[in-house]
Structures are given as C-alpha cells and as structure tokens.
Structure 1
C-alpha cells in the first residue's frame, strides 16, 4: 500500500554551525591556494637563484668608493708616488698587491702597499703602483680585484696573441714561453718543446686573472697558455649564454691541450681558479688527453657545487629547500625552461667529494680558510679523502687572492710541489703511455 510522505518539520538553522561549515570550506580553499602560492613563489625564487649561478655576469658592481687620489711629493714632481684613499674594508686593509678597476671596468690601476690606516675614520691609503688605463683622478667609484696585470706584458713577460678553435668559434689566448734566451723585438717568442701550463680563469673573470701565476710556471720551465673559454666575454658565447659550471667548458681546455701539443708540449699542468678549478678537474677526468696531464694546481677551486649552492643559500638567508630546488632546476631537463640552459648540468659529475676516488691526477690546492665565496672546507675534505691531493691553507686572502696576499708563499708552494710531479709523470708517460697511443 502506498503511503503519502510524511512532511518533515523544518529544522531551524544553526548560525554557528553554518558559519563553521562555510569557514571550513573557505579555509580549505585558502590553504590550498596558499600552498600553491607558496610553491609558486618558491619555484620563482629557486629559478632566480639558479639563474644567478649559471648566467655569466654582464658587469661587476662598482661598490667601492674612491675617496681621494693624491701625490705624496710636491706638485709637478713626476717621481712622487700616487696615493689613493679608500674605505677600510676586509679587502682594502690586507697587505699585498691588487687592482682597482673603475669607469665600468675600463679603468685599471695596480694598487700596492698600505701607507696609512685610520680605524677612527674608517679609511686606508695605499700606493698606486701604476695606472694602465683610465683617469684615476676623476674616478669616484670602482671595485677591488685580484687580477693585477692586464696582460703578460704588464708583468714584464714576453708573449704572443693566438686564437684556438673551440666549438663555438675562435677563442683568444696568450702564449708565454718558458724561460730561455731573449726574444728579438718584433719577433714571435720562441717556444721550445717541453711541459706547458694551461691557465684556466674563474667565473666572472677572464684570462688576465691568471697572469700572476705565469712567472713561477715560467721559472719551472713551463710554457704558459692563458685561455679564454665559452661565455667569458672574450671567447664567443654559446646559444644559451649560460655557464656549464665545468660540465661543458672542459672541452675548450681539451682544445687548448691539442693546440699546446701541436706546438711541442710534452706534458700538461692545469692551473685553475674557482670555477676554473671545476673545469680543470673535469678535463683531467674526461679528456682523451688525460694521460698527458701531469698535475693540477688549483686556487680556491669549486669541488662540489651542491655544497657551494647550499653555502650561498645560508649566507643569503634563503631557505634550504629553495637552494635544493635550484640545484634540481640546474641538473634536471625539466628545469631548462626556467634556467635557460640548453641542456641540464650534471652536478653529480662535478661533485668531487662524492667522486674523490675518481681523481687520479696529482693535485695541489691552495685555498684561503676565510674564503667567503667558495669555502675552503670542501678543498680540505677532498685532500683528506684522496692522498693525491695536497691542501695548502692561506689566511685573509678571501676568494682567489691567495697569491695577492702572499705571493712568496704561493709561489714557494708551487715551486716545491710541482717539479717532482712533472719528473714522475714524465717517466710514467714514456713507459706507460706508448702502448695506448
């Protein structure tokens, strides 16, 4: 039998319960939206951070004020020393020889001894040893650099300009012959068969950074090849205008080795600074000339990009998760759209702390314990993990200024360590390499 539905009395609405239900729905939506927004912001921050790592800097900020430029003697006395007064900073108050760049990098002055230091005023006065380019008297701002000499000639060295054909085009280089007889004026310096040093500069620098290492290499009988490489503003850029952090640039060093061998190089020593250290390590690992590489001499090298990016995350107070996401963007194919890289960079292949047993080339590491940009702890750890690595600590040099702070100590370390590796490798090369060629 059919029954008529019994009407159900309307239940009075509970305002508090309804508001809670509506609030729960809105709260859930806000939580999801906030999570999406947070992820989006994190991704954007990580992408920005990753680009800071792989995009070559277009210019360097002139963050150092030039307070005054004077002469120490009477007006008109050409022999009077030129002096520059600067703000006292952790860089400008350290003894040694440096350069002061100004006028958007077009001006270049070599700066020497400290003449006066006033902690009360917060200023330091130093000798201007030479002005290579520009008018320092008119300059008001500049930046401090360890790249002392604009070219080998400024350091009193004979040299020639050459180009080597890297994958993206001709790369300008300097060749400085080993010590020998004088080179007649106007003639190409004479290069005799023997060991060659290939000098590999760091990130954001160029080949002038490496000139300071040439005198000791030359004295040890090495001809030096000071190279440029892709995306360093001297050699041609790649299509993506991005650094490979050593993962791609090593191929340019391999081409440099080929050039050196064509001119009589019997052994190769790679000198690398900062990212140039990472490039040199990759070359020694991957190049088909690796048996010709007798030794590595690395100053302030990057031996682990994971730890370096984590370090910069900490110093910039960036959440560690964003730093990890940045490394993922750099090393994963899906990150190319955000980083602009044509291909991902295998950061694991550049992690020499995890791959320490794969380093088979004798390596000298010179690294300042107060390096603010590439901490020395990773270099010290590499030496602990691999007996072929010798670690020489410096102090107060900060990043890649070990030679500037104490050139005698830097050169003595190279002079003591390198000859034995060359002699040992020469015996190995003659006996062990013949059957592989």
Structure 2
C-alpha cells in the first residue's frame, strides 16, 4: 500500500473515532438530561437513608454515625431510619474524631434504632402538633383537585391574624412544626397545609411538581379557607420549594394579595436555573447540564420525556425579575452553606427590594435547618417580625361619633 493510501486510511479511522466519540457523548448527555429533568419534577416515593450508623448504645443514650456534613450539624434533629419506619430525636454532637460523630439520643419515638444500619437527619424533631401544649384542629382545605388535609393551630386568644405555612419539595406539613411556638406566641394562628403531589393532598393528572408554577393554586385555596374562617390579615410562610410556591401565589393571585400583610421565607428556592446548575455540579454531572435541563423543562415537547402535563418555564418562576411587584414586608432567612439551594438567589432578591426585605444570613445551618442550628435566634426573628407586622398593619381605631 502506498504511503498516501496508508495516511488516508489512518486519517479516516481517526475521523471515524472522533465522530463515534462525539456521538457517544451526545447520547450520554441526552440520557443524563432526561434523567435529571425527570428527577427534578418527580416526587420521591421514599427518601434514602444516606447516613451510616456505626453503633447505638441505648444504655448510655448515644449513637455513632459516619462523619458527614449532615451528621456534624450542631443542634437537635429528627432521625428517620428503616426507610422512615422508625424515628428518633438526636441531640447535639458529643464527639467528632473525623471518622465517627457521636450524638446524644434524646428519644426513640418508634422503631428499633439499635437494629438500624442507615438513616437520615431531619429538621422535624417533633412529629405532630399534638406534642405542643396548645390546641389544634385537623382541617380540610378544599382545592381544585379535591380535599387537602391541614393542621390549624389557633393563637391562644384566637384572633384574625393567620400564618399559612407551605412546606418544601419532598417534605410534608410537618416541616412547619418548628414554627408553631414562635408564631402562636406572637399572637398569630397558623395553618400548616398540604399541596398537590406531596403524598397527602390530591395528585395532579401528571403527578409531577410544577416547582411553584402549579402548586400556587393550592396556596390560593388555603387563603380562601383562612378568609372564610375569619382571617383578616395573612402572612404566607414558605420553606425551600415552598418559598417558590408562596412567591408565585403572591405574584399570580389577586385573592392572595387582598389580605396579605407579609411573607416569611426559610431557605427558599428563588432562582431555579441557579439551583439546577448547583445540584448538577453536586451530582458530578457535566458543566452546563443544569442550563440544558432548565431549557428542556420549558419546551412544549418535553412532556413525553419528563411526564409533565405542561412545560415548566423555570425562567418565568424567577421572582427577582418581578421584584418591583411585591408590596408587603418579607423576612428572608438562609444559610451560607445551604448545600441544596444556594444562597445567591436569596441575596439577589434581598438586594432587589431592600425596602421590603429583612435578610438574615445563618452559617453552618445547612438547608431548612436554621431553627435546629439556632432555635433561639430563629424563633426570636419570627416572633419579633410578626409582632412588628401586626403593629404596622393594625387598623386605626376611630373614636365613637368621630
């Protein structure tokens, strides 16, 4: 074979290899995009227990956990184990040698902790409103999809001031139990709601999250319920994705805005594009995949890939772009080291409306565990801010005959 023919053959083989490699990468990227996109909008059937249990000593009331960012968190936490069939309450860190973290076991509510091998840290230390020394009601909020269960905890003296709490993605109304004491201590009643596809409220046709773009209608229904039951001033409180849901309800519903006097946000999902980028990097996915996923979710043809009944345009869910439309004060709290929802979106929202937003940064509190890390500060902020809002929005009393 001539030298030119051999060179041509080698070049052709090289081109073929490059083309095959490029095709393979494209296929892998496409598969990852679909998997990631479906994961974002699909409710998880059961949460994994990623924290490995090294040993449990019930006699001394201690547990050893493999060291991780979660097991090292200071404060008091719930601990779910056996695929959420068991629940314990863990106190602060006793010892951390870099490999094993020892924590105090405050109580085992149910399950056999001594037989468990894995579990997960949770911000829900308590498991229901019945654990508080105050009355509560199991109520039903009528929504467009059907009856949604909720807990109503009235203020000690009743009243017409309500805080409606909206939990985050993959959580349930239990997430708001931490807010009951400071809210009711400030003289406000609180309604802890469920919403579509959260495992308690009715499911939508597609059984998918709308990242706030669909769930806001259930918040509107909760506001209608509160109004029908005597609420005159309403504060919406959102945890994580619940923050996105709350903000969309404010922006999209005149009925919500009619009695709204404030918003509280704990670790809120503000910028979904930024969140997808952050989580993509955390999962070790290729750079830029988060942007691709955000684009795919908004395409009308994506439903066959994601299961969504309608596209979710994540750019349209950005409250910073519509910050000038907000008209009530907000208390915004976020931890610098959130680990799930980056704080950048909260900083941008706070910077966009410094006239309305009181922004409180925490450190070492991780995601939605600000109360667990520093209950005194968190509760003081909520209690004090609600008292300020109540005073600022109290109707002026008119003297008789005036």
Please confirm whether the aligned pair reaches a TM-score higher than 0.5, indicating the same fold. yes
Aligned to 1:340: 307
* Residue 125 in structure 1 maps to residue 103 in structure 2: yes
Structure 1 window deviating more from structure 2 (319-328 vs 90-99): it is 90-99
CA distances 1:56-75 after superposition (whole Å, capped 9, x unpaired): 11111112233113223xxx
Q: Which residue of 92, 95, 99 maps to 2:78?
A: 99
Structure 1 window deviating more from structure 2 (56-65 vs 299-308): it is 56-65
Q: Which residue of 358, 362, 366 maps to 1:398?
A: 366
Structure 1 window deviating more from structure 2 (91-100 vs 245-254): it is 91-100
Aligned to 1:70: 58
CA distance in 1: counterparts of 2:98 and 2:80, whole angstroms: 26
* Residue 157 in structure 1 maps to residue 134 in structure 2: yes
In the alignment, structure 2 segments of 5+ residues that lack a partner are 398-402
Give the match's secondary structure for 1:355.
Answer: helix
CA distance in 2: counterparts of 1:170 and 1:131, whole angstroms: 33
Q: Which residue of 36, 41, 52 maps to 1:54?
A: 41
Give the match's secondary structure for 2:83.
Answer: coil
Give the match's secondary structure for 1:320.
Answer: coil
Structure 1 window deviating more from structure 2 (254-263 vs 342-351): it is 342-351
Q: Is the 8 Å Cα contact of residues 91 and 103 (structure 2) preserved in structure 1?
A: no
Q: 1:223-302 counterparts in 2 under 5 A?
A: 223-289=189-255, 290-302=257-269
Q: Which residue of 414, 420, 430 maps to 2:388?
A: 420
CA distance in 2: counterparts of 1:277 and 1:163, whole angstroms: 22
CA distances 1:181-227 after superposition (whole Å, capped 9, x unpaired): xxxxxxxxxxx441111111111111111101011111111111111
Aligned to 1:42: 29
Q: Is the 8 Å Cα contact of residues 284 and 361 (structure 1) preserved in structure 2?
A: no
* Residue 136 in structure 1 maps to residue 83 in structure 2: no
Q: Is the 8 Å Cα contact of residues 69 and 136 (structure 1) preserved in structure 2?
A: no
CA distances 1:400-424 after superposition (whole Å, capped 9, x unpaired): 1000011110011122222222343
Give the match's secondary structure for 1:239.
Answer: coil
Deviation, structure 1 residue 310: 1.2
Aligned to 1:370: 337
Aligned to 1:352: 319
Give the match's secondary structure for 1:354.
Answer: helix
Deviation, structure 1 residue 103: 1.8
CA distance in 2: counterparts of 1:298 and 1:247, whole angstroms: 17
Structure 1 window deviating more from structure 2 (206-215 vs 347-356): it is 347-356
CA distances 1:243-301 after superposition (whole Å, capped 9, x unpaired): 10000001011111111111101111111110000011111111122121111111000
Q: Is the 8 Å Cα contact of residues 110 and 131 (structure 1) preserved in structure 2?
A: yes
Deviation, structure 1 residue 119: 1.2
Structure 1 window deviating more from structure 2 (375-384 vs 21-30): it is 21-30
Relative to structure 1, is the Cα distance of residues 121 and 303 closer, same or farther in structure 2, using a 3 angstrom cutoff? closer
Q: Is the 8 Å Cα contact of residues 309 and 327 (structure 1) preserved in structure 2?
A: yes
Give the match's secondary structure for 1:265.
Answer: coil
Q: Which residue of 148, 152, 169 maps to 1:171?
A: 148
Deviation, structure 1 residue 22: 5.4
Relative to structure 1, is the Cα distance of residues 139 and 38 closer, same or farther in structure 2, using a 3 angstrom cutoff? closer
Aligned to 1:316: 283
CA distance in 1: counterparts of 2:25 and 2:101, whole angstroms: 45
Q: Is the 8 Å Cα contact of residues 90 and 103 (structure 2) preserved in structure 1?
A: no
Relative to structure 1, is the Cα distance of residues 314 and 193 closer, same or farther in structure 2, using a 3 angstrom cutoff? same
Q: Is the 8 Å Cα contact of residues 294 and 313 (structure 2) preserved in structure 1?
A: no
Give the match's secondary structure for 1:37.
Answer: helix
Q: Quick check: which has more Rg, 1 or 2?
A: 1
Aligned to 1:202: 168
